Amino acid sequence: MTNTIILAAGKSKRMKSKKTKVLHKILGKPVIKYSVDLAKKINSEKTIVVVSPGAFEIENLLKGDVAFAVQNEADGTGGAVKSTVDKLIPEGDTLILYGDVPFLRESTLLSFIDFHRKNKNDLSVMSGIIEDPSGYGRIYRVDGELKQIVEHIDASEEQKKIREINTGIILVDTKLLLENIDDIDNDNEKGEYYLTDLIEIFVTSSKKVDAFIVEDYSECEGINDRHKLMQGEEELRKRINFEIADSGVTIRSNSVYIGPDVVVENDVEILPNTHIYGNSIIRSGAIIGPNSYIENSVIESGSKIMNSTVYDSRVGENTTVGPYAYLRPNSNIGRDCKIGDFVEVKNSNVGDRTKVSHLSYLGDCDIGNNVNVGCGVVFVNYDGKNKYRSSVGNNSFVGCNSNIISPVEIEDETYIAAGTNVTKKVKKGELAIGRVRQENLKSWKVFKK
Ligand code: UD1
Ligand code: CA
């Protein structure tokens, strides 16, 4: 595809939200990202997102991936496309998508593109046949041939009975689009520039236009309010879960949420109340859940994540995480490890076969292989201003309730006695012990009131 225009300007009042509707998330992914990714999948050379002035959040989310056109006044879909003309590659085809239509399948879009090209159309519209067409633009045909799209508000009583409607998705020859876009006027009930007026303009000048009736209209539904957000998310959730189940994965509940870009290999088992989002990959044989939340992370084969939260991290093969562990961004856990209950790891590397069984904080550290980190160990990485890193070498033992006061280096095969505050380097093979000596006093007084 030469150009893809994604329309995302205008207000979204029905959401009753400070945020525009296209930034609300469905299965962990902002609604507009679905359209942007779809454009990527069909190899769009240039993708332009049309936004209202001041749409910084959309621009921040998508910058680098797309170009932006600002539609200064919300004067209709025609006005939106007009705002892109100086950014279009002036050849090939231009596809118009909506930023609030996240359910369209790549296969459906490819069939539509195929229809357009095989029939050598100058303009094609994706249409749908629905029970209740009110509010939509009607596909007006004469003897089966597309003549016009009539907006609901401008339609005659007879035209209002038409159940074939415009989904909004349009594919058009770019040169013809550029030649004709300025002929759209706003002489209609709404006083808007309707992109759909192009159809009549093309028909009048004997261009080839046609409508492609989509099989499953629900793919083209927009997210206008929270009701649709809930309903749509639920439908997509089922669609994704059944596809994943069919590929050889056991999903043991209706309360499993898996994002559209997650890869789940076969023989994975996913237990209730689990969310897996972003670009996560769950490798064969892993068991995820119950009650787990995983985002942008890789869980290698045979690992178990139980009652735990994992962000932007990697968990090696046959490692167990949880119950009640928290892996924060940039944590890399080796294979055959144990990250036990109430352990928090952040921006740290943990080597193979290392055990951190209970109640510890590993922040900004590099821990080797075969290390035992005892209960209640804290890597003291923050002095109130700066963060520091520490390291622990292979085969070391960090006793319970030690504080590793960063930055400090603990070499291989060392032993940190329980309750030690480690403030200086521990060399290979050494025992570090630093605690206040216990004194048992015979003469002492209990403080009494
Ligand atoms: C539009 C179509 C209608 C179709 C319906 C499908 C026109 C004139 N009408 O209706 O035929 O049945 O979609 O849902 O094209 N947008 C802008 N700038 C604007 C106005 C809209 O970028 O000034 C964007 C919106 O963000 C949205 C899309 O265009 O993504 C559709 O806008 P919306 O107001 O929902 O469409 P309608 O005009 O009601
Ligand atoms: Ca402690």
pLDDT at 11 (0 to 100) = 76
pLDDT at 443 (0 to 100) = 87
What residues does the ion ligand 2 have nearby, CB within 5 Å?
A: 376, 401
Which atom of ligand 1 has the smallest separation from the CA of 137? 11
Section 52-65 average pLDDT: 96
Q: 344-350 contacts: CB < 8 A, separation 24 or more? A: 345/313, 348/379
What residues are annotated to the active site?
Answer: 358
Asked if residue 99 has its Cβ within 6 Å of ligand 1, the reply is yes
pLDDT digits (tens, 9 = 90+) for 183-221: 999 999 999 999 999 999 999 999 999 999 999 999 999
Terminal alpha carbon distance of the chain: 84
The set of residues, in sequence order, having a beta carbon less than 8 Å from that of 83 and lying 6+ positions away, is: 50, 69, 70, 71, 72
Statement: residue 449 has pLDDT above 70:
no
Distance between Cα 76 and ligand 1 center (Å):
7
Percent of the chain clearing pLDDT 90 (strictly above): 97
Asked if residue 195 has its Cβ within 6 Å of ligand 1, the reply is yes
pLDDT at 444 (0 to 100) = 85
pLDDT digits (tens, 9 = 90+) for 401-425: 999 999 999 999 999 999 999 999 9
Statement: residue 44 has pLDDT above 90:
yes
Beta bridge partners of 6: 49, 97
| DSSP for 401-445, written as a single string | T-EEESS-EE-TT-EEPTT-EE-S-B-TT-EE---PPP---SS--
Asked if residue 211 has its Cβ within 6 Å of ligand 1, the reply is no
Mean of all residue pLDDT scores within the chain: 97
Statement: residue 179 has pLDDT above 90:
yes
Tokens of 375: 């209960």
How far lies 208's CA from each of 78, 126, 184, 198, 204, in Å?
Answer: 20, 15, 18, 12, 10
CA-nearest of 14, 13, 31, 10 to 22 is 31
Q: What share of the chain is helix, strand, coil (3-state, %, to 5)?
A: 20, 30, 50
pLDDT digits (tens, 9 = 90+) for 60-89: 999 999 999 999 999 999 999 999 999 999
Statement: residue 448 has pLDDT above 90:
no
Q: Minimum-distance ligand to the CA of 197?
A: 1
State the Cα–Cα distance between residues 90 and 86, nearest whole angstrom: 9
Residue indicated by tokens 């339609």: 155
Count of residues in the chain: 449
Asked whether the beta carbons of 21 and 223 are under 8 A apart, the reply is yes
Asked if residue 165 has its Cβ within 6 Å of ligand 1, the reply is yes
How far lies 252's CA from each of 105, 243, 267, 269, in Å?
Answer: 26, 14, 13, 8
Asked if residue 50 has its Cβ within 6 Å of ligand 1, the reply is yes
State the Cα–Cα distance between residues 20 and 229, nearest whole angstrom: 13
Distance between Cα 335 and ligand 2 center (Å):
26
State the Cα–Cα distance between residues 79 and 92, nearest whole angstrom: 21
Statement: residue 13 has pLDDT above 80:
yes
Asked if residue 196 has its Cβ within 6 Å of ligand 1, the reply is yes
pLDDT digits (tens, 9 = 90+) for 99-109: 999 999 999 99
Q: Are strands 138-142 and 145-150 parallel, antiparallel or unpaired?
A: antiparallel
Beta bridge partners of 80: none
The set of residues, in sequence order, having a beta carbon less than 8 Å from that of 331 and lying 6+ positions away, is: 310, 313, 314, 345, 346, 347, 348, 349, 350, 362
pLDDT at 445 (0 to 100) = 81
Section 370-377 average pLDDT: 98
Distance between Cα 176 and ligand 2 center (Å):
71
Distance between Cα 36 and ligand 1 center (Å):
17
pLDDT at 277 (0 to 100) = 98
The three-state secondary structure class of 90 is coil
Statement: residue 158 has pLDDT above 70:
yes
pLDDT digits (tens, 9 = 90+) for 280-326: 999 999 999 999 999 999 999 999 999 999 999 999 999 999 999 99
Percent of the chain clearing pLDDT 70 (strictly above): 100
Which atom of ligand 1 has the smallest separation from the CA of 50? 22
